[in-house]
Amino acid sequence: MLTPPIGRRGDAGRFRLLLCCAAVTREPRFLAECEALKRVLERYPTIEALHASPEWGDAGPRFARLLGTPRRHEPAAPPAPSPDPARVRAVHWNIEHGNWYDQVEDALLRHPDLRDADLLLFNEIDLGMARAGNRDVTSGLCRALDRHGVWAPLYLETTAGRDDDARCAGDVPNQEGLFGVAILSRWPIGEVRVLDLPSPQRIQFDLERMYGRHAALIATIERPGAPFVAVSVHLEVHRTRAHRTAQVADLLRALRHETRPTVIAGDFNSHTFDRGLWHAPATGAAALLLTPGEALRRRLLYPDRGPTREPLFDELGREGFEWERFVDREPTLKLRFDRLDEVRQMFGPARGVARGVLAWAEKRAKLRLDWFAGRGWRGGRGHTAQGLDGEGKASDHAPIVAEFE
């Protein structure tokens, strides 16, 4: 298949999307159901109106089936044995939907930190979104990496997306219009559960025009002689630290009686700010602009410590999970202020005047959002893979790597 050169964005996007759409084999009944449910969503401006509509009695159970049903993928041939049977080498990556799929696949095949991983956990991974070539991204990665896989949808989208998504999509429409979380494994995947988490559904439907919820994908990995549990989760970004803590608390209750070793990985959105409050734009901007450099660095790269810490880490610790050994305190996201509602609201037309100040603050805004946590392992270590995140790269997030012994 012809693809644009690695690193180019936008100019060849439409041509790339048309090629990908032609190459994907659709499931007609599944595609038709996604399209029908998108038409339902488009008729209602708010989630309250949707739930109060006469259509909801029929549509509600259909949404529940669509979003509650994980999809499995099997490799064409059994994956090769692990080169190090004493350890599980894992990769977690928020891949920005797979918008730059070719770069993501190339990195997973060739980057020395990522290639031949035993376990891969993904956030923001699309099925049938134009921004990612209308691919089934999980299926494509399973084929490319020769791995077993499972994917769970979080949201059904009615738009091209946000930020750079529309530019990536061009004028090509979505097909299924879903994005979610995924787990890929060298070993077969056994029991799978999708755990719904408390979510800001009104914000995501009324403002972002997508329907669904946050959820954790929980899977048993049938490692020969030593099975374990893997969890891929993407916590919410729009609200407060307490809301993220509530999501983690629900997940940990579901895992409380699990006796097998467990790996949790995800974009925890551990930015340490309480968004969604009336004063959030002012307090957030003041912290980013006025906090001394070293203090801001520690706040953003050590969100599990200090007075602004994310209490979700306290929940993890109480349930016997550790994360310190798997983190190197390198940033996994470099903040872009043009993506922040608070900055748009606060500066408005004055953004141009404030551009220099905002550019200076952006250079300081480097966050540790992505984490591994483990329970039941004898040891391990972790680090952040370099050179793959940022504008013009495979994703806006850096991938993280860990070994579980």
When pLDDT is cut at 50, 70 and 90, the band that residue 360 belongs to is: low
Q: Please tell me the number of Cα atoms within 13 Å of 33 on its side-chain side.
A: 15
Measured between alpha carbons, how far is 137 from 151 in angstroms, rounded to an integer?
A: 10
Query: Tens of pLDDT along 361-393?
Result: 677 889 999 999 999 999 999 999 999 999 889
Cα distance between residue 27 and residue 139, in whole Å: 13
Q: Kindly state the percentage of the chain with pLDDT values over 90.
A: 80
Sign of the four-CA dihedral 174, 176, 182, 185: negative
pLDDT at 401 over 50: yes
Handedness of CA 20, 73, 154, 63 (dihedral sign): positive
Give the per-residue pLDDT at 3: 31
Ordered by start, the domain boundaries in the chain are 13-270+310-332+368-404
pLDDT tens per residue across span 272-320: 999 988 888 888 878 888 889 999 999 999 999 999 999 999 999 999 9
Given 3-state DSSP classes, what are the helix, strand and coil percentages for the chain, each rounded to the nearest 5?
35, 25, 40
Q: How far is CA 382 from CA 55, 76, 227, 288, 334, in A?
A: 49, 30, 21, 28, 20
Is a pLDDT exceeding 50 seen at residue 253?
yes
Select the more confidently predicted residue: 25 or 105. Answer: 105
pLDDT computed for residue 343 by the predictor: 54
The crossing angle, in degrees rounded to 10, of helices 137-145 and 101-110 is 30
Specify whether domain 13-270+310-332+368-404 bears CATH 3.40.30.10: no
pLDDT exceeds 60 at position 9 = no
Sign (positive or negative) of CA dihedral 338, 344, 347, 349: positive
Q: How far apart are CA 221 and CA 73, in angstroms?
A: 14
Which pLDDT score is estimated for 338? 61
Residue 162 CB partners (closer than 8 Å, separation 6+): 208, 339
Distance CA 198, CA 342 (A): 23
Task: Please name the residues in contact with 142: beta carbons below 8 A apart, sequence gap of 6 or more.
Answer: 73, 74, 75, 148, 149, 184
pLDDT digits (tens, 9 = 90+) for 321-336: 999 999 999 999 998 7
**Residue 174: which of 185, 155, 194, 158 has the closest Cα?**
158
